[in-house]
Structure 1
């Protein structure tokens, strides 16, 4: 199929004037005539007729014109969609625990949109386990999580490590020994099955404590707020409690250096997608700047 001949016919059919069609196409009139004759011979129909000085479309010409217009419109649409693949566009969904959403992702999202204005961002605030599930089910394109991810279909990109800190309120620590705290107040921790709970248990075992009472929470932010109401003790990431430790609202009982990893996760089969790749690059760049 010679698209040049069909394009020539489309322009002639739009203008119904060979001189104007020649100007638009950059051809000579004899060239246009030869192309039209070749197309008519190929299709076995007459496309154009003349009445005096007037050029008109035959019934076959009108029919071919409708299909030619639709064909070239589809080709233009295809080319536009292909151009979009060169630049991020459409919807990008990110999942992360509340702490990452408020402390880190607000800046990252601002930087990403500034560089990729054609992307619409959607942010899910959920715990790390749910964030991984959303990535696995394609409900989220990628996620920032605390702790490891061992799902075989997911690619894990380490972003950094931070200390885990055993904390309670300064008020409770002044009034009780650690033994008294553990015997009287509950240990406030993540819900059973959390990907970070195993790490918490390892740290408690390493420090030689075995709490008798527990309160399970769905997020680290909830754990912190529960501790701050003089409810008990908890093991949390240093980044989450650094302001409270500095102000003296919370007190540090023990610190486990570099125990908790922050990871970015996505499906392995989707790593090369423009939206995901471009967002991941900005996350890695900004996280490295934070050091």
Structure 2
């Protein structure tokens, strides 16, 4: 089979997969649509498998297509690594794709990422946000070089590198915190919990803790961003379980308060990478830099 495969076919396959359309893939690649169609057909003939379902509006991968995708991404990444290794430039360059939660990027990664890119200006980093399961899936199918997740996924295919321990706390407006302190946690039976949605790690743990304490959640509000959640909490629309670092300034100013009925939940954010991922030179520099940064940050915290 390998004798019949060409590198450009892999690139075409991945572009169709990501664009979900032959025509959009052709536009992105600078091909006419018939070229994309022919290359995908040749791939399917070589694999003796149908790789895409043709739909009225676009395409979606078949089960065989999803399996093929993992190898296509690895093939392309290997080509990028080879090109960078053979490059005459002595200055590190390359592209790094990383998936992580918005809250971690805002509170933890922005500063070291800025320092890294200042040191290596020819390296490009493409961050994308997601929740734990989405991040894990992107790393498993090789569409992301790295992920940062709030808990060790404990998967054989994944290397997990602990970065920083974090406290999760229930947070609310001053008025709601006063009601809880005065009347007890039963008050929350009539309040709304705010989160990023059911797939969010924080949301699932909030419901688990509340159920353990006999609290039934009557209403939920799902919001797409950290700022919307904080503003909603300040308005008294509900309460939320989120990392304490996300609201440190608001707690210090008194705009938001920690609900004292529950002990903080500890979790450890870690960097994940697929064991079979062929890391380019830029990615190796990145992982070394980030691990070293957080290790030094932990040592500074111990000595404070």
Alpha carbons of structure 1 residues 253 and 109: separation in structure 2 relative to 1, 3 Å: same
Corresponding position: 1:91 with 2:91: no
Which aligned pairs between 1:1-291 and structure 2 lie closer than 5 A? 81-82=85-86, 88-175=92-179, 177-179=183-185, 181-218=187-224, 220-254=226-260, 256-257=263-264, 259-270=266-277, 272-291=279-298
Structure 1 position 231, deviation (Å): 0.7
Structure 1 position 143, deviation (Å): 1.9
CA distance in 1, matches of 2:172, 2:121: 44
Find runs of 4+ consecutive structure 1 residues off by over 6 angstroms.
84-87
Shifted more, 183-192 versus 85-94: the winner is 85-94
Do the aligned residues in 2 keep the contact of 1:127 with 1:219 (CA within 8 Å)?
no
CA distance in 2, matches of 1:181, 1:152: 43
CA distance in 1, matches of 2:240, 2:254: 16
SS of residue matched to 1:236: strand
CA distance in 1, matches of 2:207, 2:143: 30
SS of residue matched to 2:106: helix
TM-score (norm 2): 0.60
* Deviation per residue, 1:57-114 (Å, 9 max, x gap): xxxxxxxxxxxxxxxxxxxxx9984356987422112222222222232222222223
Structure 1 position 131, deviation (Å): 2.6
Over alpha carbons, which structure has the higher Rg? 1
Gaps spanning 5+ residues in structure 1: where?
1-77
